[in-house]
Amino acid sequence: MASVPSRPVAQAHSMTTSDLSALSRPMRLTVLGATGSIGKSTLDLVSRTPEQFEIVALTAQSNAQALAALARQHRAKLAVIGDENCLDALRDALAGTGIRAAAGEAALVEAAEIPADCVMAAIVGAAGLRPTFAAAAQGKRVALANKECLVSAGHVFTAEIKKSGAELLPVDSEHSAAFQALAGADPEAIEKIVLTASGGPFRTWTREALETATPEQALKHPNWSMGAKITIDSATLMNKGLELIEAFHLFPVSHDALDCVVHPQSVVHCLVSYVDGSVLAQLAAPDMRTPIAVALAWPNRMTSPTEKLDLARLGSLTFEAPDESRFPALRVAKAAMRRGDTGPAVLNAANEIAVRAFLDRRIKFLEIAALVEETLDAAERQGAICPASCLDDILAVDDVARRLAEDSLSRY
């Protein structure tokens, strides 16, 4: 393989100064997006061995009651609600506990900055960028669920990780799997990284049937229980496109060495092929508590209640090629990955608008990919797909892309 850039996860394999296994005290943990699917799974693990963790800060967007309940249960020092209108409710719910309450974007960033050994970055969407960057600047461990951060700001984010010396541990199940299958690998020896996709609820649907697919049908994921946005992304296969971009920034491989395959059972999460013909895969029941546990405990292992795999009972594992004509979002995402610069930031922003519009019944299922593609074309014409050197550049392009997507949307 030609020269491949070394990227931050490769650093994490060598675990030098900040090896968390060396901690002789509980791990100080902050959870950004504590009330979401990943946040709750993280805190579920914490609640099973509370003596091993000290919860520093918890955040949420608008559910003050749920946030307060988690903050009380885990004796957090700080609880931050994104929506400032919810601060009074949060304060009331935390009265008498001694837990500090705060609100707004600056407070979310502050939560990410308070000294912690590990920050779980589990806010959904580009809203997670600033707090996740702040967590990276701490120079400790970032357990990254917020894939949009790597998709939109991959080069800038990985540069920040490098600069601060932080460890980046992927939480996305496919990337956690690749991380484990790659441990210690010489980048020159890696031939291919293949992410698996469940295929979502519409895997076997015809294109005609997809025309009329409803939000309710799209929200019924066959294997995984996740937040609404990623569940829709799984139904369109945009999620796999976002994950290819995520993998490109995490692992030392070129675009051509990244691929995906549909695997309806969601048991094999990723396959890494080496130049000698060996293929290493990671298998686990589809439960995010396994990759979360990997990210929290690495290079050690912690117990997780994930159902144990019983291959004899499963009987067979099957694989098929993804169909980009029925799932055009995958093709659109791959094109944005190859385009590079701020192409993936435009892709991500447009997709967030499109998913919201689909959930609000403003567009049809197949129009999600069409709207994203139109936005990419419009952004290219405007010169908005360009190199970016800092987070503010990315956020400015994110803003432009959202406006372009809203413009297109008004014509649907």
Q: Whose CA is closest to 335, among 218, 245, 234? A: 245
Residue 48, φ and ψ in degrees, nearest 5 = -85, -25
Nearest residue to ligand NAD by CB is: 36
> Which residues lie below 8 Å from residue 298, measured CB to CB, with a gap of 6+?
12, 15, 20, 169
Nearer to Mg ion, 57 or 142 (CB): 142
Nearer to ligand NAD, 37 or 138 (CB): 37
Number of residues that bind Mg ion (CB under 5 A): 3
Binding residues among 313-332 for Mg ion as defined by CB under 5 A = none
Q: Cα–Cα distances in Å, from 95 out to 78, 89, 90, 99, 100?
A: 13, 10, 9, 8, 9
CB of 242 to ligand NAD, least distance (A): 7
Edge-to-edge strands of the sheet including 279-283? Answer: 258-262, 190-197, 268-274, 279-283
DSSP assignment string, 99-149: -EEEESHHHHHHHHHS--SEEEE---SGGGHHHHHHHHHTTSEEEE--HHH
Nearer to ligand NAD, 148 or 167 (CB): 148
172 counts as binding Mg ion under rule CB under 5 A? yes
CB of 306 to Mg ion, least distance (A): 15
Q: Which residues bind ligand NAD (CB under 6 A)?
A: 33-39, 60-61, 82, 108, 122-124, 127, 145-148, 172, 224, 226-227, 230, 288
Nearer to Mg ion, 140 or 269 (CB): 269
Q: Which of the ranges 93-101, 118-126, 173-181, 383-391 carries the binding residues for Mg ion, by CB under 5 A?
A: 173-181
Tokens found for residue 267: 């048991």
Nearer to ligand NAD, 372 or 378 (CB): 372
Could you say which of ligand NAD, Mg ion, none residue 160 binds, taking C-beta under 5 to 8 angstroms by partner kind?
none
Could you say which of ligand NAD, Mg ion, none residue 230 binds, taking C-beta under 5 to 8 angstroms by partner kind?
ligand NAD
Q: How many CB atoms lie within 10 A of CB 412?
A: 12
CB of 159 to Mg ion, least distance (A): 24
Nearer to ligand NAD, 37 or 273 (CB): 37
Could you say which of Mg ion, ligand NAD, none residue 351 binds, taking C-beta under 5 to 8 angstroms by partner kind?
none
Rounded to an integer, what is the distance from CA 235 to the centroid of its chain?
Answer: 16
DSSP assignment string, 174-208: HHHHHHHHHTT--GGGEEEEEEEE---TTTT--HH
Q: Whose CA is closest to 146, among 236, 58, 36? A: 36
How far, in Å, CA of 84 to CA of 393, rounded? 26
Could you say which of ligand NAD, Mg ion, none residue 166 binds, taking C-beta under 5 to 8 angstroms by partner kind?
none
287 counts as binding Mg ion under rule CB under 5 A? no
CB of 278 to Mg ion, least distance (A): 24
Nearer to Mg ion, 160 or 172 (CB): 172
CB of 143 to ligand NAD, least distance (A): 10
CB of 267 to ligand NAD, least distance (A): 15
How far, in Å, CA of 182 to CA of 280, rounded? 8
Could you say which of Mg ion, ligand NAD, none residue 290 binds, taking C-beta under 5 to 8 angstroms by partner kind?
none
Binding residues among 344-363 for Mg ion as defined by CB under 5 A = none
Q: Cα–Cα distances in Å, from 114 out to 102, 138, 312?
A: 13, 8, 47
How far, in Å, CA of 160 to CA of 181, rounded? 25
Nearer to ligand NAD, 54 or 172 (CB): 172
How far, in Å, CA of 98 to CA of 307, rounded? 37
Q: Cα–Cα distances in Å, from 97 out to 9, 31, 67, 349, 384?
A: 39, 19, 13, 39, 48
How far, in Å, CA of 160 to CA of 139, rounded? 9
CB of 189 to ligand NAD, least distance (A): 27
Could you say which of ligand NAD, Mg ion, none residue 287 binds, taking C-beta under 5 to 8 angstroms by partner kind?
none
Nearer to ligand NAD, 124 or 369 (CB): 124
CB of 221 to ligand NAD, least distance (A): 9
CB of 148 to ligand NAD, least distance (A): 5
Nearer to ligand NAD, 76 or 378 (CB): 76
Helix, strand and coil percent figures for the chain, each rounded to 5:
50, 15, 35
Could you say which of Mg ion, ligand NAD, none residue 258 binds, taking C-beta under 5 to 8 angstroms by partner kind?
none
Return residues touching Mg ion (CB under 5 A).
172-174
